[in-house]
Structures are given as structure tokens and as C-alpha cells.
């Protein structure tokens, strides 16, 4: 009796990656957390505009919720800083050289308020992702919403400071004029510039949390080099400095935005204090920082908050 051998049927093979990708595409499935196209990312960010505004308002309210003076600290802090700088730099070190005595106080207060706007935006941006990991990991939304909302929060703080600045400037003899309208485009350009910086440092801070400890020292150095307490042209007038260093100080974006606001609001602070083509420089810095910051952040959209 002959023995019949039966060959078992072949075992089913696991579908390959190409098969799974085709199956997912056929059913409209996408990779979780994948980076969208740049156009789609802008559309998603615009769709979250109400969340961005509400989040910035909530952060602004919570920032001083435990303080008895509450929101008054938004203007009290930069005013106290300006008073300290006036005593040290204006009185002791003679940094008001080249600036009329009746102009120096509004000059200084304007510089402190405008630079604080940039400084606070950068510091808030550094912690935008690393300080909100619970939110980032729990919800799906464009991560750029966080640094943008923090930049808007600092803009709202600046509006309170500008009200105080108007009082200070008028107390020293500069009254509203048509030139004050130049403050609007100057600050709008600074908003774009600050938002770009916030996006850049948000991504860097997400990768390197220790950056939050380093940035106060970097920003303090930037402040001292930006002419917050002194006039850069007056300081360079009798100094033998390399031409490249003079150009760096003159084309410093923080110094440019301060100079534009000072020129617009302060009588006696004329065009002789401004570097050449200051408006072109302010526009160029805003476009460069805004575009580079948004593109740099978008490139890491699928990585931010993981780990």
C-alpha cells in the first residue's frame, strides 16, 4: 500500500510596509504626529487662532495672580528697572552724554520698555515647549501655537507699558504729534521680529532645556550693547573702535526698534541719532526673523514634545 504525501499549504506572509502604506492610504489614514506641509501648517495655525488668543490671555492673567498689586507689576517692573539704570548709568557713569538732560529720562524709559518687550518674548519662547510638555503630549495641535501665544502675551504687556510711556514722555515736554503714528509700524515690525525669535528659541529650548538658564546672561549682554542706557552714536564719537564693530552696534535690531520709537515720540531726539536706512533695516530684520523662525520651528513639528 503506497503512502500518499500531502504538502501543507504555505503559511500566510505578513504584509509588507508597502502593502500597509497602500492600505492606510486607501482608508484615509495618516501617520500620527507627521509634519504637515507648510501651507497646511499655516492653515492649521490660523484655525487655532482663538485658542492662541485665549491661551495668551490666560497666561497673562495667571502671571500676577498671586501678587497683591496684580497686573500693575506689568508696568512697575520695567519702571523700577529704568529707575535703577538712571541712577547707575545716568547719574554715576554719565551715560547720558550726547543727549539733552530733559530728553534722557524718556529716552531711557523708552529703551527699557521696548527692549523688555524683546527680552520677555525670547525668555517666554525658550520655555514655550519645554514648560508645557503635558499640554503638548496630551493634545494634537500645531506646536507653533505656544510660542506665538507667548509672543502675543508680551505684546499685551507692552500695551500697558506704552500707556505709562505716554505719561512719562508728556511729563518731559513731548506732546502728541503726527510723528507718534510712526510708533504703530515700528512696533508691528518688532512684533514680527519677536515672534520669529520666540519660535527659534522655542525649538532650541525643547532640544536643550538648559538654554533657559543661559539666556538671561545672553540677553543682558545684548541689552548693554543695544544702547538702552546710552546713545550709540555719542558713545562711538570719541572711541577708536573697528569699523565692523560700529556697524554691528548700529545695525543691532533691538537698537533699531528702540530708535524708531524714540524718534517718533520724543522731541529733541532727531534723525541725527538714527543710523542710515533704519526703516529698511527694521523691515529686513522682521522678515528675516519671522520667516526663518517659522520655517525652523515647522521643520521639527513632529519631534517637539516627544521623549
Helix/strand/coil (H, E, C) string of 263-291? HHHCCCCCHHHCCCCHHHHHHHHHHHHHH
pLDDT on residue 16: 56
Inside any domain, residue 265: yes
Domain count, the chain: 1
Q: How confident is the model at residue 307 (pLDDT cuts 50, 70, 90)?
A: very low
User: Of the segments 30-39, 58-67, 166-175, 236-245, which one has the largest average pLDDT value?
Assistant: 166-175
Inside any domain, residue 83: yes
Measured distance CA(108)–CA(65) in Å, rounded:
29
Inside any domain, residue 139: yes
Q: Cell numbers at residue 68, please?
A: 497683591
- Dihedral over Cα of 300, 289, 255, 194: its sign: negative
Look-up: residue for cell 525643547?
206
Inside any domain, residue 25: no
For 138, the domain range is 35-299
Inside any domain, residue 129: yes
Q: How confident is the model at residue 200 (pLDDT cuts 50, 70, 90)?
A: very high
pLDDT on residue 67: 62
Other beta carbons within 10 Å of 230: 24
Inside any domain, residue 19: no
pLDDT(22) > 70: no
pLDDT(7) > 90: no
Each residue's pLDDT tens digit, 283-294: 999 999 999 999
| 158-162: long-range contacts, CB 8 A cutoff, minimum separation 24 | 158/113, 158/114, 158/117, 158/187, 160/71, 160/74, 160/75, 161/74, 161/75, 161/78, 161/113, 161/116, 161/117, 162/113
Mean of pLDDT over the chain: 82
Inside any domain, residue 28: no
Inside any domain, residue 15: no
Measured distance CA(269)–CA(271) in Å, rounded:
7
Other beta carbons within 10 Å of 90: 21
Amino acid at each position: 500500500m503506497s503512502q500518499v504525501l500531502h504538502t501543507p499549504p504555505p503559511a500566510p506572509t505578513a504584509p509588507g510596509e508597502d502593502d500597509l502604506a497602500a492600505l492606510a492610504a486607501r482608508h484615509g489614514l495618516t501617520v500620527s504626529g507627521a509634519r504637515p506641509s507648510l501651507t497646511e501648517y499655516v492653515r492649521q495655525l490660523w484655525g487655532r487662532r482663538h485658542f492662541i488668543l485665549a491661551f495668551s490671555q490666560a497666561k497673562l492673567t495667571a502671571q500676577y495672580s498671586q501678587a497683591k498689586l496684580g497686573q500693575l507689576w506689568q508696568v512697575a517692573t520695567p519702571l523700577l528697572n529704568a529707575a535703577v539704570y538712571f541712577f547707575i548709568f545716568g547719574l554715576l557713569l554719565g551715560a547720558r552724554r550726547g543727549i539733552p538732560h530733559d530728553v534722557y529720562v524718556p529716552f531711557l524709559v523708552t529703551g527699557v520698555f521696548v527692549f523688555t518687550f524683546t527680552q520677555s518674548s525670547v525668555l517666554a519662547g525658550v520655555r514655550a515647549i519645554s514648560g508645557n510638555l503635558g499640554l503638548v503630549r496630551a493634545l494634537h495641535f500645531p506646536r507653533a501655537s505656544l510660542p506665538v501665544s507667548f509672543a502675543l502675551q508680551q505684546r499685551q504687556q507692552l500695551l500697558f507699558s506704552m500707556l505709562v510711556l505716554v505719561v512719562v514722555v508728556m511729563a518731559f515736554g513731548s506732546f502728541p504729534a503726527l510723528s507718534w503714528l510712526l510708533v504703530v509700524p515700528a512696533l508691528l515690525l518688532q512684533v514680527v521680529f519677536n515672534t520669529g525669535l520666540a519660535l527659534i528659541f522655542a525649538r532650541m529650548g525643547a532640544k536643550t532645556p538648559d538654554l533657559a538658564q543661559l539666556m538671561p546672561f545672553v540677553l543682558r549682554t545684548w541689552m548693554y550693547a543695544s544702547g538702552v542706557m546710552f546713545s550709540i552714536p555719542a558713545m562711538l564719537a570719541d572711541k577708536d573702535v573697528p569699523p565692523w564693530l560700529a556697524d554691528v552696534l548700529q545695525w543691532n535690531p533691538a537698537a533699531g526698534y528702540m530708535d524708531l520709537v524714540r524718534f517718533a515720540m520724543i522731541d529733541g531726539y532727531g534723525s541725527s541719532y538714527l543710523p542710515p536706512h533704519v526703516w529698511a533695516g527694521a523691515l529686513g530684520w522682521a522678515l528675516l526673523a519671522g520667516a526663518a523662525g517659522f520655517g525652523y520651528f515647522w521643520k521639527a513639528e513632529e519631534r517637539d514634545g516627544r521623549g
